Amino acid sequence: MAEENNQAAVEDEPCKCPECPPGLPGWMATFSDLVTLLLTFFVLLLSFAKTESAKYEAALGSIRNAFGGNVLKKGEVIQLGKSADNQPTMVESQSTIRPFPIEFLTMEGMLNKHEVNRDSTEVLENMKQDLGDVGLAENVDVYEQKEGILVEVKDKIYFKEGSIALEGVSIVTLEKVVRLLGERDWNIFVKGHASVGEVYKKTGGDAYELANLRATLVAKTLIEKGVSANKITIVSYGDSRPLKISGSGGGRSDRLSQRVEFSIRKVDLETKGRKVDAF
């Protein structure tokens, strides 16, 4: 009977765990090293990234678009006739705005400026196709700029000294330019030039007046050939941009400076873009 009582007493006693060794367990040191390395890795990534607000707005807008759709504008707006005396009052805005589309995000998850202006690639391909259709591809130089595609016509129209009388003109190239502007929606810039110190013999006008008259004469010719006046912009550079002869010490050529040049663009530079605050 006594032996049974002693055995029951032993079974009732709680099981004691072995004493742990002093210090932190080994796995915690490994875990701490892993977390530190991850933190360092993300700090390194952040240091390489460009902190542009547009990227964060794009990501935030995509999240809103996925979970909540449109969001309310922040701040107050003026509404008429909302007060007791029918005076304008400030109320909390209730109109919605569309967040930044998720299509603006690249595969890396960042907003790529070239992706925002993705028209540039399409416009370039369209321009090459247009130039090929009218047979003008070999007569132009094409440049890709931030504000769009610029096409410079290699052939120029030359004038006699101090006059608006033509001295040399490529009729074939001019006809191709007219055809391009008539069949496609492009804008042309007619740029008049004069040689250094050149004056208009007929009236004594300076180089800027002479260059303007030359550009105006060419523009009128384009209009007579069917080009819409809305597609033509006249620019007078006067004698500020004389042509230099390559390979001969950099000397300028007065004969080549008495010219009119053509630039063709898809977008008119007078077209206003998105308005932003000046401060």
pTM equals 0.56
Contacts of 270 (CB under 8 A, 6+ apart): 233
Asked if residue 78 lies in contact with residue 89, where contact means CB atoms within 8 angstroms, the answer is yes
Distance set, CA 2 to CA 6, 9, 11, 13, 148 (Å): 6, 11, 14, 17, 103
The conformation of residue 50, written as its DSSP 8-state character, comes to: -
How far apart are the C-alpha atoms of 192 and 178, rounded to whole Å? Answer: 18
**pLDDT tens, position by position, 189-213:** 999 999 999 999 999 999 999 999 9
State which CATH number among 3.40.50.2000, 3.40.50.300, 3.30.1330.60, 3.40.50.880 fits the domain covering 119-265. 3.30.1330.60
57-67 per-position pLDDT tens digit: 666 666 666 66
Lowest-confidence segment of 72-76, 151-155, 186-190 by average pLDDT: 72-76
pLDDT of residue 218: 93
- What is the DSSP-derived secondary structure letter of residue 182? H
128-164 tens-digit pLDDT: 888 899 898 888 998 887 777 888 999 999 999 999 9
Contact 50, 112 (CB under 8 A): no
87-99: string of b/e by CB count within 10 Å (b at 16+)?
A: eeeeeeeeeeeeb
| CA–CA dist 171, 155 (Å, integer) | 10
Give residue limits of the domains in the chain. Answer: 52-116, 119-265
User: CA–CA separation, 56 vs 49, rounded Å?
Assistant: 12
Q: Are 265 and 150 contacting, i.e. CB atoms less than 8 angstroms apart?
A: yes
Tens-digit pLDDT profile for residues 21-38:
777 777 888 888 889 999
